[in-house]
């Protein structure tokens, strides 16, 4: 088996491989994208590996590297995703070889550890990562909301900005001390319909949420439906808004006003859904869970790469990077 880095001409085969790799029971899905590398390209430091068997593409895996912190210690971490293996060649060690190659790339660069998020029902992937030394760390929840017209006139009207630097001091005050915090998410998604909505009552409190159109990067597509052509996908295209960097969880009424305003606006636009990543250890307002149309459960798995190093995770929620799922 030969493992190499991605080339643009690989895209048609990689997208066919994606089509053959559904996940997420009970409603399996796949990701449609214009280029297979589009998810990885949301991060400035990314690599996409391709495995070849007898000269044909047999699998792929992506990894990004980010500077962040665990327990206050600055370090570098890899994040692994888009691991795929051709169904006809499974059980031949393709996924294992790709993940081992990623380890080699990361270790050569002095990266401290590596992690991934795996759909909780994907037992083959969980077993594969466990076999390679990853430990199951914590659950992560993806909440999915439907656009909904506001039933009442909002008590507070959120203010809109498209400046990715807006509100970063308040966001850092809430999220900055968490493990895995990175400050550059808004800046990296600014070209995908980034918006920040907030209500600032001065001494009366502040609440805000950011969003970007994840549908501009990829579309989650039912596994039992064939892909449309690229032109048909563009015509079909609906926005899928990923919410992130929420501020105001200690003032649920104020945050609710921002959330309701976003759903109302989505109901009047070409939006299929809104999604939010939640760490169950977070003090997220109850309405997030009560209003969700459905949720998908993931496991975060982690492996140290630095010899002799054990991460000193803090008690409490981690920062969830809105680009990662």
d(CA 187, CA 163): 9
How confident is the model over 108-129, as pLDDT tens digits?
Answer: 999 999 999 999 988 999 999 9
pLDDT above 90 (res 200): yes
The 3-class secondary structure across 119-135, one letter per residue, is ECCCHHHHHHHHHCCCE
Stated as kind and residue range, the H or E segment containing 106 is helix 94-108
* Beta-carbon count within 10 A of 52 CB: 15
DSSP state of 158: P
Q: Which of 56-70, 149-163, 230-244, 267-281 has the lowest mean pLDDT?
A: 230-244
pLDDT of residue 67: 98
Homologous superfamily assigned to 2-139+298-304: Gcn5-related N-acetyltransferase (GNAT) (3.40.630.30)
Cis peptide before 26 (omega within 30 of 0): yes
Say if strands 113-119 and 73-85 run parallel, antiparallel, or are unpaired.
parallel
User: Residue 47: what are its φ and ψ, rounded to 5°?
Assistant: -140, 140
Segment 201-224 shows an average pLDDT of: 89
Segment 286-298 shows an average pLDDT of: 95
d(CA 40, CA 315): 30
DSSP state of 79: E
pTM over 0.85: yes
Q: Which residues does 158 contact at the CB level (< 8 Å), separation at least 6?
A: 197, 198, 199, 208, 257, 258, 261, 262
Stated as kind and residue range, the H or E segment containing 18 is helix 11-19
Q: How many Cα neighbours within 13 Å face the side chain of 17?
A: 24
How confident is the model over 66-108, as pLDDT tens digits?
Answer: 999 999 999 999 999 999 999 888 878 999 999 999 999 999 9
Fold matches, 2-139+298-304 and 143-297: yes
d(CA 148, CA 265): 8
Within the chain, what is the greatest distance between any pair of CA atoms? 67
pLDDT of residue 247: 96
Q: Smallest Cα–Cα separation from 245: which of 163, 320, 156, 323?
A: 320
How confident is the model over 146-184, as pLDDT tens digits?
Answer: 999 987 777 788 999 999 999 999 999 999 999 999 999
Q: Specify whether the CB–CB gap between 148 and 263 falls below 8 A.
A: yes
Q: Which residues does 119 contact at the CB level (< 8 Å), separation at least 6?
A: 23, 24, 25, 125, 296, 297, 298
pLDDT of residue 89: 83
Segment 293-311 shows an average pLDDT of: 96
What are the boundaries of each domain within the chain? 2-139+298-304, 143-297
- Cα first-last separation, the chain: 29
| Residue 198: Cβ-neighbour burial (10 angstroms; 0-12, 13-18, 19+) | buried
Segment 260-270 shows an average pLDDT of: 92
pLDDT above 80 (res 64): yes
Q: Specify whether the CB–CB gap between 170 and 201 falls below 8 A.
A: no
CATH architecture of 143-297: 3-Layer(aba) Sandwich (3.40)
pLDDT above 70 (res 27): yes
């Amino acid at each position: 088996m030969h493992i190499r880095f991605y080339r643009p001409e690989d895209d048609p085969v990689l997208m066919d491989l994606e089509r053959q790799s559904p996940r997420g029971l009970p409603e399996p899905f796949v990701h449609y994208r214009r280029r297979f590398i589009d998810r990885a390209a949301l991060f400035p430091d990314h690599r996409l590996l391709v495995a070849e068997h007898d000269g044909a593409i047999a699998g792929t895996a992506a990894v990004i590297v980010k500077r962040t912190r665990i327990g206050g210690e600055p370090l570098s971490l890899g994040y692994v995703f888009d691991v795929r293996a051709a169904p006809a060649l499974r059980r031949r060690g393709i996924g294992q070889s790709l993940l081992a190659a990623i380890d080699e790339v990361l270790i050569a660069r002095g990266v401290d550890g590596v992690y991934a998020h795996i759909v909780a029902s994907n037992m083959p992937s969980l077993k594969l990562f466990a076999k390679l030394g990853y430990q199951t760390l914590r659950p992560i929840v993806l909440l999915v909301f439907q656009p909904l017209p506001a039933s009442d006139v909002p008590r507070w009207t959120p203010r809109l900005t498209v400046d990715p630097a807006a509100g970063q001091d308040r966001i850092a005050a809430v999220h900055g001390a968490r493990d895995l915090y990175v400050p550059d998410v808004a800046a990296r998604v600014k070209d995908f319909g980034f918006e920040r909505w907030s209500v600032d009552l001065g001494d009366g409190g502040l609440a805000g949420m950011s969003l970007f159109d994840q549908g501009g990067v990829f579309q989650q597509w039912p596994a039992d439906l064939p892909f449309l052509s690229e032109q048909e996908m563009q015509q079909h295209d609906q926005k899928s808004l990923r919410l992130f960097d929420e501020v105001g969880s200690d003032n649920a009424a104020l945050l609710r006003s921002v959330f309701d305003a976003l759903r109302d606006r989505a109901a009047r636009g070409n939006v299929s859904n809104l999604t939010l990543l939640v760490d169950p250890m977070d003090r997220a307002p109850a309405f997030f869970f009560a209003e969700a149309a459905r949720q998908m459960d993931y496991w975060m798995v982690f492996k140290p790469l630095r010899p002799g190093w054990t991460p000193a995770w803090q008690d409490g929620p981690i920062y969830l990077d809105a680009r990662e799922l």
